[in-house]
Structure 1
Amino acid sequence: MSNTVKVQPDLTFVKELQAVGGDSLKKCYQCATCSVVCPLSPADSPYPRKEMVWAQWGLKDRLVNDIDIWLCHNCGTCSDLCPRGAKPGDLLSALRNMAYRNLAPLPIIGKLMSSSAGILPLAAPALIFYGLIWVIMAGKFGTMFPTFEWNAADHAWTAVEGGKVVFGGLFPGDYTIDPVFMLVFAFMIFMFYAGVRNMLKAFDAQPKTFIVGRKEEPCFLSCLIDTLQYEVLQHTQFFDCKDEQTDELDEKRATGHRWLMFAFIALAVVTGVVASGHWGGWLLRNLGITGLGDIVSAIGHTPMPFYHPIKLLALVGAGLGVYGLLAVTKRRVNLDQAKQSSSWYDWYLLAVIWTVFLTGIGAMVFRVLGVGLLAYPIYYVHLVGVFMLFAYLPWSKLGHLVYRTVALSCAKKIGRIPMGADK
């Protein structure tokens, strides 16, 4: 006698899934074309066919705990070849979007990202805070667009007529930028920790795959290192999605993602050097090691001349970022909406990253030209953009840098996918 399985559909979940990009799932009639053509789907219990069934049935628990949604890299092959236009790739993308919104605490942040009406509430904390700082400093200097010169004795910028445009003079980094973004970084790390903890708890119920010839299950750390080496740094999963029908836009998507990642790494190094130089020099001087403190401070002193190695690295990072953004944006703009679609959630992240890079470049250009009337407002928008990018990272699609990395590592540990070196 067979066992009875009780199915409890969640209709609210189905509607929410349709709202974040899975609106065509009811067209699926289970032909399994999607699972057959996917170059990444494992032979045992392949995706995305089973996810299409679960979604149609409203099996929320199955889907939100499904490790396979993280194995898909959204190449779109399954959606391109679906005879019914059910867009299975969009379904997996929508499921990841739901995960980004709900893995970490405060899911209201993810919900705000899903609608254009959420932009102002998300931007409000930084808009108000830095707007007040600007007004206060303008009252102190008697102008909204002051200029400065460096006071070496006090290690500070002094407002003068006909000086330089200096962002750190109007928005003092020691009090209004560094402390704020240190708190933002700590907040981001804690929320990622909570999100990853929830993810790992959900994966506990995942079945393990028996692999013939596998001597022992690798430790999570070795799987994590393998994932960072292959899937993150080399983007092997993106390139594994290719076949003879892969077009130029898909090729550029993989390259664009990788260059954008390297851009963030380069700019993170720049930020780290500047912060370490500034605060390291401050600490050494307060410890009475004045000479060494001055040297360390000089390493991170801003604004830097264009021949400074750290400045050159920043320019390279900016260039790589813009190139990567162009490639990724061009592909999304040219998507065949009948086969693959984009939601507001997708465009939100691209818009924020474009804002960060363009305002960063624009602020630098107008600062060098000495046009404070444009440099300061653009820098103000840049601060707001950077805040929105990092403060809300655990709920945005960029959170895949953490969540997908953890999921791929878990999938390797249980044998769902092979280690990078074994492919």
Structure 2
Amino acid sequence: MTTMPRITPDLEFIKELQAVGGESVKKCYQCATCSVACPISPSGNPYPRKEMIWAQWGLKDRLLTDIDVWLCHNCGTCSDLCPRGANPGDILAAIRNMTYRNLVGPSFMGKLMSSAKGLPVLVGIPAVLFLAIWIIVATIKGTAFPLEGGDVVFGSLFPGDYTIDPIFMVVFFFMVFKFYSGVKKLLKSFAPEGGVVYLGGKKPNPIRVLVELFLDEILPHKKFSDCGGFTLRRIGHLCTIFGFIALATVTGVVAAGHWGPVFLEPLGIHIHGIHTPMSQFNPVKLLANIGALLLVVGLVGLTVSRVLKDKAKHASTFYDWYLLGVIWVVFLTGMGSQLLRLANIKYLAYPVYYLHLVSVFMLIAYLPWSKLGHMVYRTAALAYARYLGRKAV
């Protein structure tokens, strides 16, 4: 006699899903409009219909290991056409958000990122850290704030050599390690049971797959066109990505130029060092300003797009606005620090730079648990899908 498998729903998972943006999940009555309307859903085993019923049943393990959740481009077409207002696109976004928070430890970080209640702690950690540095350095130097005479030099109160740079180096490598652990866990959850048969009998080169993915889809944002345009959102994403690339390049060049001589000269290798502040006509500084310009254009586009989405009854969550808010603070305090330094307004320059350090710490240190983590996790999922011979369409 055959034993029928029993499905045990996870009621707590359903409640959590509803709390992080999936409150409309129970409205779905399986009409399949979402799967038919989706311009990139595959004809075989299409999404998001099956994900909607899994969510209603509380099949947590199946949803958190479902690669289709990551192939969805979240254009919102399915939500716009849903006759019941179940908002399938928002449900998939909420599932991804839940996955981010549970991929890596410590577990309390995911809880802090889940609602505005955790914001004071998230801000407080770097705020106390950098305030302590400020007070200690000022005490050791016997310098009252604001500094009397001379130009604004942020290194005088936030020395890079033995405080700021080492802290951010540790934070950066912590973030990289967490992403490595998270991607490894995510891909393991996608792995099919049994062996994999590759088309043509040849195993794909993972590096080639990743490069093709970047060139074909990620850099040109091709899926934005496939999903019907979304010009404002596409411009916002593109400018934000390239702005981040430019600013990350500047950070890397400055770090290498500053610390390179420290480590290489004892080995007899001499390289040209870089010291800040740099001239506004320095190529590295020009790239930084171009990156900042791209970032503000991208932020405006994404913010307006998010506001319009909220007006269309696709309610954004704290998780959505947290990311935009932190990036806005990073940009405004970064540009503000530069302008106030050039104007030599000490009373404002140092506090604004302090807030900039706090916001940059929040952006980098919490990245594996934030929505910006989808740049890594979704890229890994898309690459793995191609590796297995699957594509989003």
| TM-score, length-scaled by structure 1 | 0.88
CA–CA separation in structure 2 for the residues paired with 1:373 and 1:381: 13
Deviations, residues 267-324 of structure 1 (Å, cap 9, x unaligned):
11111111111112334555577xx55xx12xx2110111111110000000000000
AA aligned to 1:260 is T
Cα drift, residue 29 of structure 1: 0.6
Match of 2:379 among 405, 415, 418: 405
Cα contact 1:80–1:339 (8 A) shared by 2: no
**Take 1:168 and 1:336, find their aligned partners in 2: how far apart are those partners?**
42
CA RMSD, 1 decimal: 2.1
1:164 pairs with 2:151: yes
SS at match of 1:301: coil
Query: What are the residue-to-residue correspondences of 1:104-183 with 2, within 5 Å?
Result: 104-139=104-139, 140-146=141-147, 161-183=148-170
Q: How many angstroms does 1:142 deviate by?
A: 2.5
AA aligned to 1:171 is F
Q: What are the ranges of 5 or more consecutive residues in structure 2 without an aligned counterpart?
A: none
Q: Is the 8 A contact 1:366 1:372 kept in 2?
A: yes
SS in 2 for 1:334: helix
Which of residues 253, 257, 262 is equivalent to 1:273? 253
Counterpart code for 2:131 = G
Q: Does 1:367 align with 2:341?
A: yes
Report if aligned partners of 2:333, 2:352 keep a CA contact under 8 Å in 1. Answer: yes
Of 225, 229, 235, which aligns to 1:255? 235
Quick one: structure 1 residues 79 and 28, their matched pair in 2 at CA, closer, same or farther if it must change by over 3 Å?
A: same
Offset of 1:141 from its aligned partner? Answer: 3.7
- 2:3, 2:295 → 1: CA distance? 55
- 2:177 pairs with one of 185, 190, 193: 190
Q: 1:202 aligns with which of 186, 189, 192?
A: 189
1:76 matched residue in structure 2: 76
Match of residue 209 from structure 2: 223
Letter in 2 for 1:237: K
Matches for 1:28-43 after TM superposition, within 5 Å: 28-43=28-43
C-alpha spacing 1:283/1:62, structure 2 compared with 1 (3 Å): closer
Relative distance call for 1:234 and 1:81 in structure 2 (3 A) is same
1:156 paired residue number: none
- 1:82 aligned partner, one-letter code: C
* 2:241 matches 1:240: no
Q: Provide the rounded CA distance (Å) in 1 between the counterparts of 2:251 and 2:350.
A: 20
Contact in 2 for aligned 1:104/1:195 (Cα 8 Å):
yes
The aligned residue for residue 291 of structure 2 is: 317
User: Which 10-residue stretch deviates more, 216-225 or 55-64?
Assistant: 216-225
1:164-193 Cα distance to aligned partner (Å, 9 max, x none)? 101112100011111001100111111111
Q: 1:336 deviation in Å?
A: 4.6
Between the aligned residues of both structures, percent identity stands at 57
Contact 2:310 2:316 in 1 (8 A): no
Q: Which moved more, 1:88-97 or 1:273-282?
A: 273-282
TM-fit CA distance, 1:226:
1.6
**2: distance between equivalents of 1:403 and 1:388?**
19
TM-score by length of 2: 0.94
